[in-house]
Amino acid sequence: MNTRAETNEYLLVAFPDKSTSLKILEERQRFVAEYGSVNGIDARPAITITNFFANEGMEETLVRWLQKICSLEQGFTLTLNNYSGFPDQSIFMRVLDAGPIHAFLRQLSAMKDFITPALPGFFRRPHIPIASGLKQSVYELALSEYSKMTFHESFSVKELVLMRKTAEFGDMKPVQVFGLLPAGNDLFNKVA
At residue 41, the pLDDT reads: 65
Q: Where are the beta strands (DSSP E) in the chain?
A: 7-14, 47-55, 76-86, 90-95, 116-117, 127-131, 152-157, 159-165, 173-179
Contact by Cβ (8 Å): 80, 28:
no
Distance CA(47)–CA(140), nearest Å, equals 24
What are 47-87's pLDDT values in tens digits?
Answer: 999 988 888 888 999 999 999 999 999 999 999 999 999 88
Distance CA(53)–CA(69), nearest Å, equals 19
Q: CATH for 7-76+99-128+155-180?
A: 3.90.1140.10
* Beta pairing, strands 127-131 & 152-157: unpaired
Residue 43 has pLDDT above 90, yes or no: no
